Chain A
Amino acid sequence: MKKFLFLLMLLTTPLLAAPVTDTFSDPAMEARARNLQRQLRCLVCQGESIDESGAPLAAELRHLVRQQMTDGRSDQQIEDYLRARYGNFILMKPPLQADTYFLWLAPFLVLIGAGAVAMFVVSKARRAVAELPPDLL
């Protein structure tokens, strides 16, 4: 009877149950799950991962992740499964592919470009400083 009531409670509350309470007793598995959860975006919230979101969908996704982990799937397999289901949008880290090369490289291209300009400016300024009267230094 007690078991039945518990099951009933489980069946009626999942939509209200915002943060998960299912946790792995193995700390390594738990850490892995948490790490995976942080890499996955809650699809209905603004920029939150499913790890931190209180939305019901996030709770379902957390459950899904943990279930697949229990089934012995690797992180990559779980990510691939979710990507196939929800698209790249679910990954917090945008995949490196043809249409995201620019996204990933732009900051470093700017860094290199700005560095090159700076080197040019410095070399010009160094030539100019040689011609300055010494009392200005």
Chain B
Amino acid sequence: MTGELGQLALCFALALSLVMAASGLTGARANAATARGIAHGATMGMLVFIALAFGTLTYAFVTSDFSIADVANNSHTLKPLIYKISGVWGNHEGSMLLWVLVLSLYAGLVSALGRGGPQLTSAALGIQGLLASAFLLFILFTSNPFLRLDPAPFEGAGLNPLLQDPGLAIHPPMLYAGYVGLSASFSYAAAALIVGEEGWARAARPFMLIAWIALTCGIALGSWWAYYELGWGGFWFWDPVENASLMPWLVATALLHSALATERTGAFRTWTLLLAIAGFSMSLIGTFLVRSGVLSSVHAFASDPTRGFFIMVLIFCAIGGALGLFAWRAPTLKGGAAFDTVSRETALLLNNVFLVAACAAVFVGTLYPLLLDAINGEKISVGPPYYAATFAPIFFALLLLVPFGPMLGWRRGDLKEAARALAPALGIAAVAALAVLAIASPRFLTGVCAFAVAGWLIGASILSFIKRKGARASAFAAALAHAGLGVTLMGVAGTTLWRSEALTVLAPGQTMTVGPYTLRFDGVTQEQGPNYRASRAHIALMDGARVQSLLTPEQRIYPAEGQDTANTAIRTTGFQDLYLALGDDRGNGRWTLRAYVSPLAPFIWLGGLVMAFGGMLSLWGRLRAPAQVPSAVAQPAE
């Protein structure tokens, strides 16, 4: 029964999304209040039915209903409850259902907040309805999660053990909240082109912020997971799937900055619209890359050419349609920004120039190998050295300029005054550089530069905290987000440049040293988990002859899935990680042990968290603001 209920709910949701699209777009006209009412109703109805379908699938996973193919292929009775639930989106069909659930949640939020006036909201709902119907069709025709099996198997096939991890249980919903959140600003941008663009940037701002916060957290979580789960201490691999999440982040960051100018002084009107379209386009391309099986990785659950083709058509329609609308309507927008060469606007423009170039590096690096393979069959790898030579210098140049932005006034800034205000930050940068020269060995020029820039960023943020006492929340938000960049930069530099490592085969009782630590190997025991067997190593961290603490890295074998994973043991001081991964069994109780000491590793994710907090502060300021500041564009009440 449950499967059929979910299927039916999806069909109803599809019907309602079509109603939503039609009535929403009709409601864009001034005298169509009835259509607007229908659009709002259909939005809520669609949300309810998609939530019902999602709830049904979750119920099937929790109760291990193996008569549903998706459950049988991706779950197992012995899996702990949390992984039964996360298994819902740990596969292609379920993850697409999560995608439309998030899409409908954003549509519901657009409808409930009704920002930007009734016509703009209605048109935005219409576009959201179009997107929802396209994805619902995709699900129903190529990726139906409710298909039945007859006879039902006695036991399920289990979930990829790499995905059975608390970090990865929440990573996909977080990332989707970001990906799909960009659909809201996309819809608002398209709606602005239909209705006339007054006030859309202000209306869409909270959605841009939510999407950006979620993307930031999602990427940080993914990177953290890779760090502790993959077992060799790296935190970013320039894997195409990671790049697929980084590209929307870069565009969303550019959008947040450009929209600020549009909202404030009306500068960059058309460019901001284009960025909003580009942001969601990057999300769609990311989805295509990940879901179509063009790139295979832990994320690509299934490769099926029909799905790839369907998503490709969907992307062409969405991006092509939006760009067509843009090409048609954008020339009618009144352009004309007015600002001086030295101004906040110029700073925001430079921000966009560098972010777009950085995004181009990631885009070309990710897609060029596919293109080249298709053209002449030549296979190349685009690995970290490529990004170190392209992305890194461009992003580094951007970081150098970041502190100037908030110090310059709108329309006309004073560079001398900004430089004077930033002088103490330069001092902090010099101190940071000297400290690195004094403390760290070996000495790297890149390391010194990285810490100088980090000091520059954090110093400038502290200055704007002091200077702007009593200022609006947005000023503090920017300072916090920019400081987060500095924190992450320190973590990245510390881990990449000064990581020490040791790889040793140890017999019980033997010791090894890594960095400042001495480790004693006390042997390996066999443990039984709920759905895995583990070889657990017992490692004593020594302080002279005394045992300071015990670490237990594991190797886990998941018999149901026939796979094994490494479970690292990490001991952190907050400034430095001691990282242990158990290698292979060398016989006679001897095992290989990999140990890393990563200075400042926690800063990588701490910085991400600080950035996200900056975003949240800005969001809080925004949602509070309309009550006090009346909107510049007053809409007639209905």
Interface presence of B394 (CB below 8 A): yes
Complex CA distance for A93 and B583, rounded to whole angstroms? 28
- Interface flags for B583-610 (1: CB within 8 Å of A; 0: not) read 1111100001010000000000000000
Q: Write out the residue numbers on chain B whose beta carbons fall within 8 Å of the beta carbon of A100.
A: 368, 372, 380
Complex CA distance for A47 and B244, rounded to whole angstroms? 14
A-B contact pairs, 12 of them (CB 8 A): A19-B594, A46-B239, A47-B237, A88-B379, A91-B380, A92-B384, A108-B390, A114-B352, A118-B350, A125-B337, A126-B341, A136-B411
Complex CA distance for A99 and B368, rounded to whole angstroms? 10
Interface presence of A102 (CB below 8 A): yes
| B interface list, Cβ under 8 A from A | 231-232, 234, 237-240, 267-268, 296-298, 336-341, 345-346, 349-350, 352-354, 356-358, 360-361, 364-365, 368, 372, 375-376, 378-386, 389-391, 394, 411-412, 503-505, 583-587, 592, 594
Who on chain B is nearest to A43 by CB?
B381
Asked whether, in the complex, the Cβ of A111 is within 8 Å of the Cβ of B340, the reply is: no
Assuming the contacts A19-B594, A118-B349, A129-B340, asked whether A92 and B383 have C-beta atoms less than 8 A apart, the reply is yes
- Name the distance in Å between A61's Cβ and chain B's nearest Cβ: 14
Contact check: which of A87, A99, A125 meets B338 at CB < 8 Å? A125
Asked whether, in the complex, the Cβ of B353 is within 8 Å of the Cβ of A94, the reply is: no
CB-CB nearest 9 A-B residue pairs? A92-B383, A93-B385, A107-B361, A128-B338, A111-B357, A110-B360, A89-B379, A129-B338, A114-B353
Residue of A92, A125, A128 with most partner-chain B CB within 10 A: A125
Contact check: which of B350, B364, B380 meets A89 at CB < 8 Å? B380
Give the number of residue pairs across the A-B interface with Cβ within 8 Å. Answer: 151
Asked whether, in the complex, the Cβ of B357 is within 8 Å of the Cβ of A52, the reply is: no
How many interface residues does A have (CB within 8 Å)?
Answer: 51
Complex CA distance for A49 and B239, rounded to whole angstroms? 12
Q: Write out the residue numbers on chain B whose beta carbons fall within 8 Å of the beta carbon of A11.
A: none
Complex CA distance for A22 and B244, rounded to whole angstroms? 37
Complex CA distance for A49 and B234, rounded to whole angstroms? 11
Q: Write out the residue numbers on chain A whose beta carbons fall within 8 Å of the beta carbon of B389.
A: 93, 104
Contact check: which of B268, B346, B376, B584 meets A99 at CB < 8 Å? B376
Asked whether, in the complex, the Cβ of B592 is within 8 Å of the Cβ of A21, the reply is: yes
Contact check: which of A16, A88, A102, A104 meets B378 at CB < 8 Å? A88
Asked whether, in the complex, the Cβ of B381 is within 8 Å of the Cβ of A16, the reply is: no
Asked whether, in the complex, the Cβ of A94 is within 8 Å of the Cβ of B412, the reply is: no
Complex CA distance for A102 and B375, rounded to whole angstroms? 14
Asked whether, in the complex, the Cβ of B505 is within 8 Å of the Cβ of A21, the reply is: yes
Complex CA distance for A121 and B335, rounded to whole angstroms? 11
Q: A100-B368, A121-B268 are in contact. List 10 more A-B contacts (CB 8 A).
A: A93-B383, A94-B381, A104-B389, A111-B394, A122-B339, A125-B338, A125-B339, A129-B339, A129-B340, A129-B411
Q: Write out the residue numbers on chain B whose beta carbons fall within 8 Å of the beta carbon of A122.
A: 339, 341, 346, 349
Asked whether, in the complex, the Cβ of B386 is within 8 Å of the Cβ of A94, the reply is: yes
Asked whether, in the complex, the Cβ of B234 is within 8 Å of the Cβ of A111, the reply is: no
Q: Write out the residue numbers on chain B whose beta carbons fall within 8 Å of the beta carbon of A102.
A: 364, 368
Asked whether, in the complex, the Cβ of B353 is within 8 Å of the Cβ of A111, the reply is: yes
Complex CA distance for A93 and B381, rounded to whole angstroms? 7
Complex CA distance for A124 and B271, rounded to whole angstroms? 15
Q: Write out the residue numbers on chain B whose beta carbons fall within 8 Å of the beta carbon of A110.
A: 356-357, 360
Complex CA distance for A118 and B358, rounded to whole angstroms? 16
Contact check: which of A19, A99, A131 meets B592 at CB < 8 Å? A19
Asked whether, in the complex, the Cβ of B336 is within 8 Å of the Cβ of A128, the reply is: yes
Q: Write out the residue numbers on chain A whose beta carbons fall within 8 Å of the beta carbon of B354.
A: 111
Asked whether, in the complex, the Cβ of B583 is within 8 Å of the Cβ of A18, the reply is: yes
Interface presence of A103 (CB below 8 A): yes
Q: Write out the residue numbers on chain A whose beta carbons fall within 8 Å of the beta carbon of B394.
A: 107, 111
Q: Write out the residue numbers on chain A whose beta carbons fall within 8 Å of the beta carbon of B349.
A: 118, 121-122
Q: Write out the residue numbers on chain B whose beta carbons fall within 8 Å of the beta carbon of A104.
A: 386, 389-390
Interface presence of A84 (CB below 8 A): no
- Name the distance in Å between B362's Cβ and chain A's nearest Cβ: 9
Asked whether, in the complex, the Cβ of A19 is within 8 Å of the Cβ of B346, the reply is: no
Q: Write out the residue numbers on chain B whose beta carbons fall within 8 Å of the beta carbon of A121.
A: 268, 337, 349
Complex CA distance for A124 and B346, rounded to whole angstroms? 12
Complex CA distance for A93 and B383, rounded to whole angstroms? 6
Asked whether, in the complex, the Cβ of A52 is within 8 Å of the Cβ of B337, the reply is: no
Asked whether, in the complex, the Cβ of A131 is within 8 Å of the Cβ of B365, the reply is: no
Complex CA distance for A129 and B586, rounded to whole angstroms? 74
Q: Write out the residue numbers on chain A whose beta carbons fall within 8 Å of the beta carbon of B391.
A: 107
Who on chain B is nearest to A48 by CB?
B237
Q: Write out the residue numbers on chain B whose beta carbons fall within 8 Å of the beta carbon of A106.
A: 360-361, 364, 368
- Name the distance in Å between A43's Cβ and chain B's nearest Cβ: 9
Asked whether, in the complex, the Cβ of A126 is within 8 Å of the Cβ of B340, the reply is: yes
Complex CA distance for A81 and B91, rounded to whole angstroms? 41
Interface presence of A9 (CB below 8 A): yes
Interface presence of A90 (CB below 8 A): yes
Who on chain B is nearest to A20 by CB?
B503
Complex CA distance for A76 and B316, rounded to whole angstroms? 44
Q: Write out the residue numbers on chain A whose beta carbons fall within 8 Å of the beta carbon of B378.
A: 88, 99
Complex CA distance for A126 and B411, rounded to whole angstroms? 9
